[in-house]
Amino acid sequence: MAHLGSRRTRAMALPVGLALTVSLGFLPTGAATASPVHGRPAAAATDGPKLSYVVNTRGGQGTVKQVRKAVEQAGGTVVIAYDRIGVLVVHSQNPDFAQSIRRVKGVDSAGATRTNPIVPQATKDIGVQQPLTAQQERSAAAQATADQDPMEPLQWDMPAIKADKAHQKSLGSRKVTVAVIDTGVDDTHPDLAANFDRDASANCVSGAPDTTLGSWRPNTGESPHGTHVAGTIAAAKNGIGVTGVAPGVKVAGIKVANPDGFFYTESVVCGFVWAADHGVDVTNNSYYTDPWLFNCKDDPDQGALVEAVARATRYAESRGTVNVAAAGNSSQDLAAATIEDSTSPNDTQPVTRTIDPKKCLDIPTMLPGVVTVSATGAKGLKSSYSNYGNGVIDVAAPGGDSTVYQTPAPPATNGRILSTMPGGEYGYMAGTSMASPHVAGVVALIKSTHPHASAAAVKALLTAEADATACGAPYDINGDGIIDAVCEGGKNRNGFYGAGVVDALDAVRR
């Protein structure tokens, strides 16, 4: 599938001419769940390619300590140990490292997080942003009412989930934080700066958190994806630019994508654990974990990746965090008996394989407990690209679509989602990447309304308050007489919309 920005983020690239944007450490003192190890030599020198691994242990911290010794004897170096979830991040140049460590008592599973060796990386130039023109900004501002930010008239997505009406009752609580686990967030953006939570932000690209000031920002040439997502969640209602779904809550940036746009397991695990340990109420996850689109649990390496990320998401939820994730942009039925995957592994040479989605999971979105989000367009229909699946999709939200397929009502002019971009800019993107933050914003409003609700209770309210949406007429999105996808299920729960389109107004009603 084609993408804007990072190749693994879930933002769709639509036909040329339809969009204004075409492309574009250290552990803090007192944290109890991770113990970094620096410079400890491997027990045996090896000259194989340097790879990163996750090692999942059984038992408590005593077991982790024993396994760390075995890791070094097998030619590995521990980068960081997430003790409470029993996950170690390890680098090794021993080609037999994974096979050796799996035989160690106390090891549940272990696997390489990539198929391409670790190499020093430089910032990758992915293209130039194309922001709104001055004339477009003036035109939008002229349409705005007294209680709207200047570009709100172009945000068809906010009325679609009743966020505009919700804002008349509540903007959300400053005590609620949503973490954007993504490509980085530009916290200097004038629509984000006032709501940014630096204490809950970090760079997790190495697998260990780095809290250096600004480490969570995208570098020059890196994807604007995370900044766009952050604006949809919590762009301030401040008389400039756009407005987020929950403009009164805080937003944090947890950077997990490397300069080449890959979201590797060690980074994702770090992101969830960091969020859990720093009071984050909601995480937004608009990506899939590289290099496998689907990770098959019966494969020793891929199964270990599933287990590591699952442990991290469960840990976050146990600390009260609601994890929200994008369903993906491949127009695939995630509830089908089989799915063709020809994109994995994406960091070396992909192979074509047929997978069973009950055994091979897209992580984190298909993990138990994670809220899985499909995308809708300006007409309220499933977006042309959005994945779907009866029993897989939990809720739906605006992600945008080609204006050819779903045209918004005036004064909006573009079928994509308008939000913040690095450098104080604004632009359009589309994808389930854009749908997920709408849901994260609604979850933040629910948490603001019910501050003592558990993660499970918040998720129950999210689905109960969603606007049930029936499958409707046979889905022929381009009108060529060929059915493009089949929606299964009833009005209250189906494969296109799950429990329905999220409702921000209901979220703020006590």
Catalytic residues: 182, 225, 433
258-295 b/e (C-beta count within 10 Å ≥ 16 → b): bbbbbbbbbbbbbbbbbbbbbbbbbbbbbbbbbbbbbb
Q: For residue 64, give both structure tokens.
A: 């982790």
Greatest alpha-carbon span in the chain: 69
Count CB-CB contacts under 10 A for residue 76. 29
Q: What is each CA distance from 213 to 187, 203, 216, 361, in whole angstroms?
A: 11, 10, 8, 35
What are the φ/ψ torsions at residue 140 (nearest 5 degrees)?
-65, -45
Residue 447 to residue 351: CA distance in whole angstroms: 43
Q: What is the C-alpha separation between 164 and 406, in angstroms, rounded?
A: 21
The contacts found for 135-142 with CB under 8 angstroms, 24 or more apart, are 136/20, 137/426, 140/411
Copy the structure tokens of residue 507: 């979220």
Among 382, 420, 418, smallest CA distance to 401 is for 382
* Of the candidates 485, 475, 469, 466, the residue with the CA atom closest to the CA atom of residue 334: 485
Contacts of 445 (CB under 8 A, 6+ apart): 166, 170, 172, 245, 246, 249, 504, 507, 508
Instruction: Report the DSSP pairing between strands 322-326 and 282-285.
Output: parallel
Q: What is the DSSP track for 155-193?
A: -THHHHTTHHHHTTT----TT-EEEEEES---TTSTTTG
Across 69-226, the runs of DSSP E, i.e. the strands, are 76-82, 87-92, 107-112, 177-182, 202-203
d(CA 501, CA 491): 11
Q: Which helix (H) or strand (E) holds 314?
A: helix 300-318
Residue holding tokens 């009866």? 390
Assign 78 to helix, strand or coil. strand
Cα angle at 387 between 386 and 391, to 5 degrees? 130
From the list 324, 310, 408, the residue with the least C-alpha distance to 374 is 324
Bridge-based pairing of strands 360-361 and 371-376 is unpaired
